[in-house]
Structures are given as structure tokens and as C-alpha cells.
Amino acid sequence: MDVIIYHNPDCGTSRSAPATIRSAGIEPHVVEYLKTPPSRALLQQSIARMGISVREAVREEAAPYAQLGLDNPALTDDQLLEAMMVHPILINRPIVVTPNNVRLCRPSDLVLHPTPKRSAG
């Protein structure tokens, strides 16, 4: 199985996710997203596949969050995405991508649990 993890090696939660994946016998493709951030389109697609809002994908603990006033509820998804493109540290992590799923793995043990199937409507 091809597994990609968007990872920050300075983050404890992010560091434990690749180890958890490896313990399942899978060698993930690790992308240090601060060095190689995803494109805006890929980030937007990943957020949609995770089934979360753009706001939920923003890391509130990152220093630029408060400085940029990103807690303002009037900000649009486009404005939040732009902030994440300019400051990739704002992308919440780790994000794990498999052929069937994309998941924000906070806490990191979420990597072990399948995402519940969504009903078609």
C-alpha cells in the first residue's frame, strides 16, 4: 500500500505517526511539508477528502496564527488557504494519505483506526 505522510520532524505527534505506520509493516513516503509544502490545489483536495473544514486544517498553535488574526470568523476558506500557503507551519499535521483515505492524525494513534464510511446521503 502506498502511504504518504505530510510530516514535521520537530513535532512529537508527527514523529510518532511514521513509526506507527512502519510498525504495521508499511514504509511511508515521508514529505517534510515545511521544506516541500503541498500545492494549494493538493491541500484543498486533501482537506475535502478528510471531510473537515479549512479552518479545522489550520494549526492554531503556530505563532503566525494569532499574529495574522486567523481566529477572525469572517475569514474565508480562500484567505485561510492563502495563509497556509504563505506560512506552511499553519498546516495542521500529520496528514496521512492512502489510496482510500486522507486523515489528519491528531492524536497520532488515529493512523491505526479506519475512518468511518460516510453515507451517500
**Is 105 a catalytic site residue?**
no
Per annotation, catalytic residue among 5, 6, 7, 11 = 11
* 56-65: long-range contacts, CB 8 A cutoff, minimum separation 24: 56/92, 56/104, 57/84, 57/91, 57/92, 57/104, 58/83, 58/84, 58/90, 58/91, 58/92, 59/89, 59/90, 59/91, 59/92, 59/93, 62/87, 62/89, 62/90, 63/89, 64/89, 64/90, 65/90
Catalytic positions are 11
